[in-house]
Amino acid sequence: MQNPATLELNGRIDNATSADVEAQINALLDAMPRALIVDMTSVNFVSSLGLRVLLTMAKRCRRENVKVALHSVTSQVTSVLQLSGLVAVLPLHPNRDSALSSVA
């Protein structure tokens, strides 16, 4: 069975970085993985444009039947994801092992 694609994001997902983050996501999804694990350990801020990137990722994963899971999300970023409602389409996990189990 194919291993899930993994993406480690760092710093801010905002106007300055969102295009690069989106390009990284699309490159991984273009390879048609069965699952995508996103490590959010080092992400400390997500702007509205960053939320759009994450929502677009979630929609593409759903459309292409790719399981997706975010893990190690900081409390500040978790709050933003909860307020935006993205937690309904992007499962959050406390650690990598939990994320991997969820897409197995």
- 73: CATH: 3.30.750.24
**Confidence band, pLDDT 50/70/90 cuts, at residue 33:** very high
Token pair, residue 71, equals: 């893990």
pLDDT at 2: 74
Phi-psi region at 84: left, alpha or beta (left = phi > 0; alpha = psi -120 to 50) = alpha
Q: Is the whole model's pTM more than 0.75, yes or no?
A: yes
Domain extent for 42: 5-103
Alpha-carbon gap, residue 97 to 31, rounded angstroms: 23
pLDDT at 46: 98
pLDDT at 1 over 60: no
What mean pLDDT comes out for the span 25-34? 96
Mean pLDDT rounded to a whole number for the chain? 96
pLDDT at 71: 98
What mean pLDDT comes out for the span 2-31? 96
Among candidate residues 54, 41, 51, the one with its CA nearest the CA of residue 9: 41
Q: Domain total for the chain?
A: 1
